[in-house]
A and B are shown apart, each in its own frame.
Chain A
Amino acid sequence: MAVTDIQASQPFLSRLLRPRPVIALLLLMWLPLMAYVMFGKTIGNNAQMVLLPAIPATLILYILGIRAFRESWVAVIGLTLVFFWLLMAVSAPYLPLLDPNKPIAPFTTPFTERKDVFFWLGTDFKGRDMLSRMIWGCQRVLVWGVTATLVAYVVGALFGLISGYLSGWWDEIISFAANVLLSFPVMVLFIVILNYLGPSGFNIVVAVTFASAPAIMRIVRGLALDIKTRDYVFAAQTRGEHPLYIMIFELLPNVRGPIIVDACLRLGYTTVAITTLTFLGLGLQPPDPDWGLMIRESAKTAMLWKFSYMLLVPALSVSSLILGFNLMADGLREMSLRD
């Protein structure tokens, strides 16, 4: 075979555009939710219309997920918990709920009727319905949590691939920068960054990126170091592919497995971080409902046995979401070890 017969692989675009139904569904679920939460105010009154396609997409994804994970009941439980909250997030505007920001009857205990309204989970110190606040509260934490993790992954994986594949000075510099960032305790780093930037959702993304990307970079770097000596990488180098092409299309798909497990765990950490930061007053801001805010407001006003439901509801909600992420990670790891 003549050398000229070796074909350069497919161009970038056609590889990226290969149809992948699961990714299309994920985008269909994710983009409306993101648009609704981040830009809902600018879209205007009919903002909830954008969520319409997300509801069936979420349901289909859940069914597909269960079929994919059926070997491991741990993963199925995790998936169910996560998708329960996702479904709540995308369908919150369509559920028959009271307005989460409207004060009705303060300090109503759960399962009581006041002012002709039955409160399943009672109301908080301002008289806002706890049930609707709980359901609406998952939107912001899910959107910002996933966005922050995603951005941290893009940045971390990019630097990890560069330092693992190119080695040399790149590796020295990037690894040292990662070491410096990793030597800050996470919460201290969050506080310093958010103190400097000011509290908001976008700034949480920045802070999480600074805190998580070094750890992700280390993982990806280790995997890349291992993979770059494989034959298919040499083949690509011989074909004369650009290093960027090799990193993205040869290395990245092959480090996917361990990364997905780690991503599930990291989603859990990010959720914890956002809730905790919001509780500390450095994260998401009122008045829109959020679990961390619910805890923050109730911890000041309702430290009594009678009103402990105000703290219990958000605490259990956030725990269940994080448990979902962790169980999913556990099940995925179990399944990846099996094959």
Chain B
Amino acid sequence: MLKLVLRRLVQMVLIMAVSSLLLFAIFDTPEFKKRLAVQELGGFAVSALTEDSYQDWLAARGLDVPFYQRYANWVGNILTGDFGFSFEKNRPVAPLLADRLANTGILAFFVFALMIPISLVLGVLAGMKEGSLQDRSISFISVFTTSIPEIASAILLTIVFALGLGWLPVKSAMIGGFDFRELVLPVLTLVIYDFGYVARMTRASMAEVMTSQYIRTAILKGIPYRRVVMKHALRNALIAPFTLIVLQLNWLLSGVVVVEVFFEYDGFGKLLLEAALFPDVEVVQACTLVAVAVAVVSQIISDIGYTFLNPRIRFA
């Protein structure tokens, strides 16, 4: 167990190191720097950008130091909590990112709070009796909902609940402070896209457990069906979905971009996109690094959780 945790931690550090190096190198190529220089010196500097003014710009931005030195500097700064400075927003990246991540955290909390019960209940109901009408209709619903991309379901929900019925606000910019009603549409959009996948995996896991021999024995012993499902089957059937739900965090970070942009919710995804379009390199790097860190950590938690929950591996 300890060995596994250590191995995964080493792997995590390696992955973080390589991805940070990649991330730093990709925005450090001469072409990209030139593009950035042209943009920052103004539109009409395109023709005016001489070799001299480019070198001046590099020196002003501290980009004339060798690559490895700047990379080491950058990593050192990040490890001490300094994520650089946002040229677009004109403030340090660290507090900005913390703000936005907190907003996305609120969104993610409600998404998980809704998605987990819905998908688990539906998956268990479908997997309980494989091939029944109940199973088929739930499977069809989950295929259907996962087929509607977030952008489309965001539109449909907005049209029905915000534009048509007028129950909910169209945008979720939270201008007048935190408003719970503005959170409903983004959360629903993400849940609708996401729950089907988890439900299908839960169903597969449940269906597998229900055909196993110990369940047959339990049924033949005359234990009531409800009790067989609740006490015997569920515990084993929920191991696989658990790891999957933790991995959904990684997925949510990509889903959140389009939803936050569509509803103008001030979160992590919107920050990343705005920075990318500007382009505000240090913000993009910081956001991506945080996203990778979240993804890697959730991967480790899901791996360790899986071994911990599965007695066959835990005691081996």
Contacts and interface: CB of A to CB of B under 8 A. Distances in A.
A221 B295 CA distance: 23
Given A276-B151, A318-B152, A322-B148, A184 B163 contact: no
A92 to B, nearest CB: 22
Given A183-B19, A308-B163, A322-B148, A192 B32 contact: no
Given A311-B155, A326-B143, A330-B143, A319 B251 contact: no
A81 to B, nearest CB: 10
A196 B250 contact: no
B100 to A, nearest CB: 14
Interface stretch (B21-29, B91-99, B174-182): B21-29
Contacts of B296: 183
Contacts, number: 128
A202 B238 CA distance: 42
Interface in A164-193: 176, 179-180, 183-188, 190-192
B257 interface: yes
Nearest to A279: B151
Interface string B141-167: 001101111111001101100011000
- Quick one: which of A179, A188, A191 has the most chain B CB within 10 A? A188
Contacts of B316: none
A179 B292 CA distance: 11
B164 A188 contact: no
B295 A185 contact: yes
Nearest to B296: A183
B152 A196 contact: no
Given A318-B152, A319-B152, A183 B292 contact: yes
A187 B18 contact: no
A312 interface: yes
Given A191-B273, A195-B276, A299 B147 contact: no
B79 interface: no
Nearest to A271: B149
B200 to A, nearest CB: 10
A292 B144 CA distance: 20
A52 interface: no
A111 interface: no
B168 interface: no
Contacts of B288: 184, 188, 192
A280 B257 contact: yes
Of A192, A292, A330, most buried by chain B (CB within 10 Å of CB) is: A192
A188 B291 contact: yes
B149 A272 contact: yes
A315 B152 contact: yes
Nearest to B140: A74
B151 A275 contact: yes
Contact of A187 (B27, B253, B262, B284): B253
Main secondary structure of the interface of B (DSSP, over half): helix
B185 interface: no
Nearest to B277: A281
B315 to A, nearest CB: 27
A198 to B, nearest CB: 9
A87 to B, nearest CB: 20
B254 A187 contact: yes
A281 B273 CA distance: 9
A295 B158 CA distance: 13
Nearest to B258: A276
Contacts of B202: none
A327 interface: yes
B27 A196 contact: yes
Interface in B278-293: 279, 284, 287-288, 291-292
Interface residues of B, number: 49
A104 interface: no
Interface string A107-146: 0000000000000000000000000000000000000000
Interface in B238-277: 250-251, 253-255, 257-258, 261-262, 269, 272-273, 276-277
A188 B277 CA distance: 13
Nearest to A308: B159
B149 A322 contact: yes
A180 B287 contact: no
Nearest to B154: A315
A84 B32 CA distance: 42
A59 B251 CA distance: 38
Contacts of A326: 143, 146-147
Contacts of A323: 143-144, 147-148
B147 A319 contact: yes
Given A191-B272, A280-B261, A281-B277, A185 B250 contact: yes
Given A185-B250, A185-B251, A180 B15 contact: yes
Contacts of A34: none
B38 interface: no
A176 B16 CA distance: 12
A188 B163 contact: no
A186 B277 contact: no
Given A192-B26, A323-B144, A295 B272 contact: no
Given A187-B258, A280-B273, A322-B148, A315 B156 contact: yes
Interface in B11-41: 11, 14-15, 18-19, 22-23, 26-27, 32
A282 interface: yes
A305 interface: yes
B292 A187 contact: no
Nearest to A303: B170
B119 interface: no
A190 B277 CA distance: 13
Given A179-B15, A194-B276, A312-B156, 8 more contacts: A184-B292, A185-B295, A188-B257, A191-B272, A195-B284, A303-B158, A308-B163, A312-B159
Q: Which 9 A-B pairs have the closest CB atoms?
A: A187-B254, A323-B147, A315-B152, A185-B253, A185-B254, A195-B276, A305-B163, A272-B149, A315-B155
